[in-house]
Structure 1
Amino acid sequence: MPSTDTEAVRALPDRGLSAGGLPAERNGFVGRTAELARLLELLGTDRMITVTGPGGVGKTRLAVRAAARAAGDFEDGVCFLELSALRDPDLLPHTLAARLGLPEQDGRSRMGAVRRYLAGRRLLLVLDTCEHLVEACADLAWDLLREAPGLTVLATSRQPLNVAGEHHLPVPPLPVPEDAEGGGTRTAKTHPAKTGAARAGGAGDAVELFVQRARAARPGFRLTPANRADVVRLCRRLDGIPLAVELAAVRLRAVPLSELADRLEDRFRVLTGTRRGVLPRHQTLRTTIDWSHGLCDASERLVWARLSVFAGTFGLDDAREVCAFGELDGDEVVRGLVGLVEKSLVLRADDERGTRYRLLDMLREYGADRLEAMGGTETVRERHVRRHLALAQEFDAAFLTDGQVERYRAVRAAQADVRSALEHALARPELRRAAAALATALWGYWHIAGLHTEGRHWYAKVRSRYPAPVRERAWALAKSAYLGAFQADPAAADEARECAEIAGKLDDRRLTGRGLAYLNLSLTFRGRHEEAEEAARKALAMLEEAGDPVGLVTLETQIAYLRLLRGSVDSALEWCRRGLDRFPPDSEEAWVRGYLHYVWGAALFRRGAYERSAEVGALALDLKHSLGDAVGTAYCLELLGWLAAHERRHARTALLLGAADPLWKRAGARLGGTAIMERAHEDAARAARTALGAARYARYAAEAAARPLDDVVQEALTGAAFTPREPNRGLTERETEVALLVRDGLTNREIATRLTVSRRTVDSHVERILSKLAVASRTQVAEALPARPEGP
């Protein structure tokens, strides 16, 4: 037996979602054969489909299953966007852009970036849980469908989006047998009868679902003639709503089946009267959740209500900090959480940080209603804001110290709740100062995560609450200027100047210094080097007077880069040394030290100290990749690629520069568009292209871009020779025929129609063709095939 409450929680089963891609199915998929077939049919003919139905009916499960089945029909894949934790409609385009991996350091419209990205792609976009953002989702879908002819949108919502051309697919509850003997099924009027489903022990009906979940709750459970009547009675009372059936099945851990059916029958009589007709779907589910709530003890009910303020996943410490007050102490919160997980009312959602938890949307809404009814919402929400303010301030205060990676991951895991806390605090006058402090503390997170546009979105909201020249406004201007500099936004310099002006009036040396430092950064990126030097000189004096080590080392890194761009190699090396001397020899800090080592390595490259440059560049790459800093990793891969070109290791050059290419696309511009650095890139690429030939260079670069980044970085760090795949052109006659059609731009489905074969057969042919030709994508097949003959 677990010895502590914490161990008890960690011993509970994991029912979380997979990281990235489509959500993992936590348990077996039951029924929905007709609905799945119809949805797959619609995905092949329509471009806007909305799966509609009441909460708990299984819309998301159906959409995920269909998207997984249809993924092969979309050459550019599936993008799944889960929206339940998103409350601000203004962030919808940004959230989609981030999910697509689009450039964040781009000052242009995020919606414009999404349009441009999707315009030439064939992709399935799944918008899950749209009902609280109906207008925003409808506008997004309509806009994208007009601009991207290869896009298909699949939405799930409790109501249609009402977009032109939208096809609604209502999802009814699962069918329920008419009687215990299985003489037919009963379901919603819109659902065709499935005669004989009960006789077969399920065949996709509510009874089958109950039995499957009951076996998970109580191993050994099986459907028998003796217990069938109770199962049918229970499923009928729950009206076949999957979530309601699953909640009931979990109770078999503690209550015998016959008693469970009786209790539920009594519960419905009390809540809905004695009329035995079919209940409205929402009333059925609400009553079922009421019933599950009634089976919880007082502490579990209170914990459930207070946990409803969490928008995303949360940990044990989060639950204690937010929920433990008044009638509940920390131990009672943990015991209540254990009980809720055991009853499947709270789900495990483990991630890289360990054990995490989450509430399903319907159960979160129910808990929020209960919390509002008992009058505790504002207190719990304020504690939620304070908890995430403390998390962000801990990250910021120790930003450049050991444990940086772990603290960054902690904030990343709480991103949905950080958003929720910001939104709530900005709406409450008494919490606006907390909102400003929270936004200010998150600047480093937003930068490392590449969320520059979102960070500036929140800083703009803070400034709108503080129009007067006060400290909160100045800090919001400073941090927005820092993020904006990486987007090459000219407004960033104006924001930095206003910050410095306000800070000067407040006689705040640290804040003035930060404003001037971020002015230096903006001017450096825009090529205005003389003005950048002047801003740096003033900032340095202010930050030294204020004793701001984070501001100083960040500025020293910027000055080192500025001197490198100006050709002052010795000065750049001196500023790198100054910055690195601020850290102890055994420091584990990765962000600033990674950039300092990159500038150091690039300066050594400019000087001609190639061997030492490779050593320093490899250390910079290791630091940046360990943190997950994509742009910093790209800089380091570039440097190692230039060194490989100098050594005439041309395949290695092509592979390193190719691996950096998708990272640059995320950043918005290779090397920030800096002319000096761009020339170094072109010199290295030209040498490799000349030695290898244009086609082979392109093939090697594409191969590297398609490899897992971890693998490329590992090979780059060891200095091992890359071994690119050489093409095996031994295509069969059929593979040659398919390859020529791919070259001509036909999709797999079109090729299947042309050759009168199944699409799955074409999929297999294309995979073998890519392997034999040693190319990473369909677009490169044309380069690897012989040229088309001239003439007709």
Structure 2
Amino acid sequence: MKQAAHHLPRYLDDFIGRTRDLQKLGEALQKYRLISVVGFGGVGKTRLAVEFSRQQALNFQDGICFFDAYTSRNTNEFISMIAKSFDITDVKIERISEFLAEYFQHKHTLLMFDNLEHLSDIGVFIRNLLAGCPSLHILVTSRERLKVRGECVFKIHPFNFEAFESDFSCNEAMQLFDSRARMVNPDFTLTPEHQGWVFQICQLLEGIPLSIELVASQVYSHSLQHILKFLQDNLLLSADHVSIDLDDRQRSMKSVIDWSYQLLDAQQQKVFRSLSFFDAKFDLDETLHMLSFLFEQQHIQADPRTLLTSLMEKNLLYHKVGGDGRVLIFYLDVVKVYARTLMTAAEKEELLDLYTRYYFQRIQTNREAPFDVQSEYFILHASNIHQTIRANLPERPWLSAQLVSYIWKYWQASRYFYLGLTYTDALHAAYQRVDPHHRNNEFGLSIVNTLIGAAWISNDNFDFEGSRRYFTQALEVAQQHQNLLGMAAAYQGLAHLCMFWGDLQQADRFTHMAQQIIEQTGNPDQKCWIQSHQGRLLFTKGQYSEAETYFLESLQVFQERSNTWGMAWTQLHLAELYFETQQFDRAETLVQNQLNNTLLSFEEMNTVRLHLLLLATKVHLALGRTQQARDTLQVCLGHFADRTRAIKVNDLMGVQILLLVQEGATEAATQLIHQVMQSKQTVATINSMLDINCCAALIGLQEGSFTEARKMHQLCLDIHQQFGWAISPRRATLYQQLQHQLAVLA
């Protein structure tokens, strides 16, 4: 048997980067005799393994032999090629391992086997060969591991970008681009301006070495700006880089990925295509749940975990552990684009239908869980849910409307609330475009629920005009479909707005209309909401005993029906009644009980929690407990600090003004009043106008501006008279104190 002289491939360009990987491979070689360098196609496995082998040449006295399995159609063909190189011929395939083991038994040799991913049973041959040759080492490159005992798996990734600031010398991806660009264009210079463009190009190429080399070759005939625009338009897969001297599967990124795709079985290919539907990373557990649903609907007998794991093993899917401990699955962008090009229009439509039904089912199922669990699910998967809504919007807006109607409360409780309003506008516009004969009742109901949700979101953010518009649109759609509950909810919302705008007559009218409808439907929850709302109207008019009765009766029914929202809001209004009638102890007890209620989550009802905290602050102020008031307000500000656009900001400012006035910080209070008055978000509610003007009168007294104090005091009285807003006992006491001090000073 002759000594084989299979030298390592020689390249005409420099090896760039991978310093840390080379070091780790060296450490691995000290411990293991079989090392598999694995990773995505084009990530640089072969080049790294060849460079490493070259550096290790002096450590293998009997040489290094390189064998490329790419052209071998199967394992036996590859084994025969190896045997032939050692002059082993006319030997049965099952005995070749014995001859090779005999040859390498006492030799200190490194065998490098390149591109083994398509030889699924090669592991047995390698294991047997190593078992009989104690000094033999084997280095393998493949897109997936061999899965044999004793194998050290060394996975390499695309180049990392985190090190780049202003010095590109720390960025291996940019170094590679610069090196290859200079080879085709010696005049290419990586100026500071060019560095920014190259950094963006390498980011779009996701640090994949082969992609960088292919694209850098275009510097021969294209500017960096043109190349960047080319990549931003997602045209990498369509590029034909025939000038690159590579084998067929590496002529383009499309060829690279296609080689891996063709090695998948039919079920793996289906999962590979199906998951490319979504833009964002996806949670491992959710993905398994989703695939189980898809397989069940399509009558596929397969294990989702096995298929998903196989795609990760083949490095077509990547995974990472997030900061919260969740395992996230994702594609490289170029792989995702490739997968999407494989889907027919019919398959895309089928997937959209399946994913839509999947999220219907998931959201409906989650309704049985506590709201914080529901909200967490929505936040984690909001991107995919939103994508499903957007995808249905052009052709199937009724499905988008149904999804939106299910999730508007999560928008209301999260940072996504403005997105909810955007979708609501788009859905209402789509509804208007649909032929009236195709506006079925289910579509209409979803639109009504969505519009009412948007109206309350707008109300919570003091966009009263937007709130009125949404309630009015909801009423129109509900009337078209004779949706009585929708009509009642819209009338109730309009009554709420009218009351706080000061139009009590119109508020009475809308409340009466809502009540008439609810009496027809017999819906107990809606009936209680109307009754609670009537209590607020009576409270505003100064009929405190009757209002309390309405609140208590509504509260009892809400408790019997375990309606958490109804209980929370009704108890808040009852506490406000006690506060305004100077029953401070009762108000404080009710507020504290609510704040200590574990069922009242911040996420679900952040607005009612806000009002409870603000009312607690006012109670402290009324009882002269300034420090407690400041502490409570700070808790409120601390929790809602990152939600300044998602809550009633001016309510916070109003209580801050009250606190500053009581502390005697008149200058700061004046500045805050001026800020509220000048702001485009000025609150137009009666309560806010009364509070601000009263504070201005108190500041006038403290600063000796008696004329201004009288003016502000009189303005408060005029507002009560103009809008029919009763002067509560608490306000009456405050006004009397103002009048007394003004009379004394006069």
Structure 1 length-normalised TM:
0.50
Which residue of 605, 610, 619 corresponds with 1:643?
A: 619
Shift of 1:601: 2.8
How far did 1:308 drift?
1.8
Cα distance in 1 for residues equivalent to 2:564 and 2:26: 52
Taking the aligned partners of 2:650 and 2:479, their CA distance within structure 1 comes to 33
Aligned pairs for 1:447-596 within 5 A: 447-449=412-414, 451-467=416-432, 470=439, 471=441, 472=443, 475=448, 476-486=450-460, 487-549=462-524, 551-555=526-530, 558-561=533-536, 563-584=538-559, 587=562, 590-596=564-570
SS in structure 2 of the partner of residue 581 of structure 1: helix
Cross-structure match for 1:185: 14
Letter in 1 for 2:306: R
Q: Contact 1:218 / 1:253 at 8 angstroms: preserved in 2?
A: no
* 2:390 corresponds to: 423
What residue in structure 1 maps to residue 350 of structure 2?
Answer: 379
Aligned equivalent of 2:585? 611
Structure 1 counterpart of 2:19: 203
Tell me which residue corresponds to 2:145.
252
CA contact (8 A) 2:528 2:554 kept: yes
The CA distance in 1 between the partners of 2:33 and 2:566, in whole Å, is 53
Q: 1:298 aligned to 2:266?
A: yes
Counterpart Cα distance in 2 of 1:298 and 1:405? 40
Q: 1:670 to 1:213 in 2, by over 3 A?
A: farther
User: Partner amino acid for 1:441?
Assistant: Y
**1:436 partnered with 2:401:** yes
Query: Which whole-Å CA distance do the structure 2 matches of 1:566 and 1:523 have between them?
Result: 14
- Measured in 2, the distance between the counterparts of 1:457 and 1:628 equals 21
Alignment check: 8 A CA contact 2:607 2:647 kept: no
Do the aligned partners of 1:210 and 1:249 also contact (CA within 8 Å) in 2?
Answer: no
1:228 and 2:228 are equivalent in the alignment: no
Question: What secondary structure is seen at the aligned counterpart in 2 of 1:655?
Answer: helix
Distance in 1 (CA, whole Å) between partners of 2:56 and 2:521 is: 72
Residues paired across the two proteins, number:
475
Shift of residue 383, structure 1, vs aligned partner: 0.8
CA contact (8 A) 1:404 1:590 kept: no
- Counterparts of 1:602 and 1:214 in 2: how far apart (Å)? 75
For the residues of structure 2 that align with 1:669 and 1:613, how far apart are their CA atoms?
Answer: 26
Q: Indicate conservation of the 8 Å contact 1:299/1:332, yes or no.
A: no
Deviations 1:734-754 (A, max 9, x none): xxxxxxxxxxxxxxxxxxxxx
What is the aligned partner in structure 2 of residue 745 from structure 1?
none
Q: 1:575, 1:440 → 2: CA distance?
A: 30
Change (3 A) 1:319 1:599: farther
1:318–1:387 CA contact under 8 A, matched in 2:
yes
Q: Is the 8 A contact 2:558 2:564 kept in 1?
A: no
Alpha-carbon distance in 2 for matches of 1:221, 1:230 = 17
Report the aligned-residue RMSD.
5.1
Shift of 1:519: 1.7
Question: Secondary structure at the residue paired with 1:347?
Answer: strand
Deviation at 1:379, TM superposition (A): 0.6
Kindly tell me: are residues 281 and 226 of structure 1, through their superposed partners in 2, closer, same or farther at Cα, counting changes over 3 Å?
closer
C-alpha distance after superposition, 1:244-272 (max 9, x if no partner): xxx977723638799999xxxxxxxxx99
Cα distance in 1 for residues equivalent to 2:539 and 2:25: 68
Give runs of aligned pairs for residues 78-93 of structure 1, distance below 5 A: none
Amino acid at match of 1:666: R
Aligned to 1:403: 370
Which of the numbers 338, 347, 368 marks the counterpart of 1:366?
Answer: 338
Note the alpha carbon deviations across 1:331-390, whole angstroms, 9 max, x for none. 5333212333455515256687976644443443333223338x5221111111222233
Give the aligned residue type for 2:619. Answer: L
**Amino acid of the residue matched to residue 338 of structure 1?**
T
**8 Å CA contact 1:621, 1:636 repeated in 2:** yes
1:634, CA displacement in angstroms?
Answer: 2.4
CA contact (8 A) 1:631 1:664 kept: no
Deviation per residue, 1:506-553 (Å, 9 max, x gap): 332122112212222333443433322321222133234324455445
The answer on 1:320 being equivalent to 2:292 is yes
Contact 1:214 1:249 in 2 (8 A): no
Once residues 280 and 551 of structure 1 are traced to their aligned partners in structure 2, the CA distance between those partners, rounded to angstroms, is 69
Query: Given that residues 478 and 486 in structure 2 are in contact (C-alpha distance below 8 angstroms), is that contact kept between their aligned partners in structure 1?
Result: yes
Quote the Cα distance in structure 2 between the aligned partners of 1:280 and 1:567: 85
The alpha-carbon deviation at position 491 of structure 1 amounts to 4.2
Taking a change above 3 Å as real, the CA distance of residues 292 and 221 of structure 1, as seen in their structure-2 partners, is: closer
Taking a change above 3 Å as real, the CA distance of residues 478 and 635 of structure 1, as seen in their structure-2 partners, is closer
Give the unaligned 5+ runs of structure 2. Answer: 1-7, 38-47, 58-65, 69-111, 116-139, 157-238, 672-746
Matched, 1:598 2:427: no
* C-alpha contact 1:485 1:521 (8 A) present in aligned 2: no
Query: Within 1, Cα distance between the matches of 2:29 and 2:459?
Result: 57
Matches of 1:322 and 1:682, distance apart in 2: 57
Do the aligned residues in 2 keep the contact of 1:510 with 1:546 (CA within 8 Å)? yes
Q: Which amino acid aligns with 2:14?
A: T
- Given the superposition, is the C-alpha separation of residues 570 and 680 from structure 1 closer, same or farther in structure 2, using an over 3 Å criterion? farther
Gap change, CA 1:641 and 1:391, over 3 Å in 2: same
Task: Look up the equivalent residue of 2:19 and give its one-letter code.
Answer: A
In structure 2, do the counterparts of structure 1 residues 339 and 657 end up closer, same or farther at CA, with 3 Å as the change threshold? Answer: same
Deviation at 1:423, TM superposition (A): 1.2
Q: What is the match of residue 657 of structure 1?
A: 633
Letter matched to residue 402 of structure 2: A
Residue 41 of structure 1: aligned partner: none
Residues 300 and 336 of structure 1 are in contact (CA less than 8 Å); yes or no, is this contact kept in structure 2?
yes
Aligned sequence identity (%): 14
- The TM-score normalised by the length of structure 2 is 0.52
- Match status 1:633 vs 2:449: no
Deviations 1:453-484 (A, max 9, x none): 32222122222222266554561544443333
Q: How much does 1:492 deviate?
A: 3.1
Query: Which of structures 1 and 2 has the larger relative contact order (alpha carbons within 8 angstroms, sep 6+)?
Result: 1
- Which of 340, 343, 349 is 2:311 aligned to? 340
Contact 1:353/1:410 (CA < 8 Å) preserved in 2? no
Q: Which runs of 5+ in 1 are unaligned?
A: 1-178, 188-196, 239-246, 262-270, 699-792
Query: What does residue 686 of structure 1 align with?
Result: 661
When residues 491 and 338 of structure 1 are mapped into structure 2, their CA distance, relative to the original with a 3 A threshold, is same
Aligned partner (choices 663, 666, 670) of residue 643 of structure 2: 666
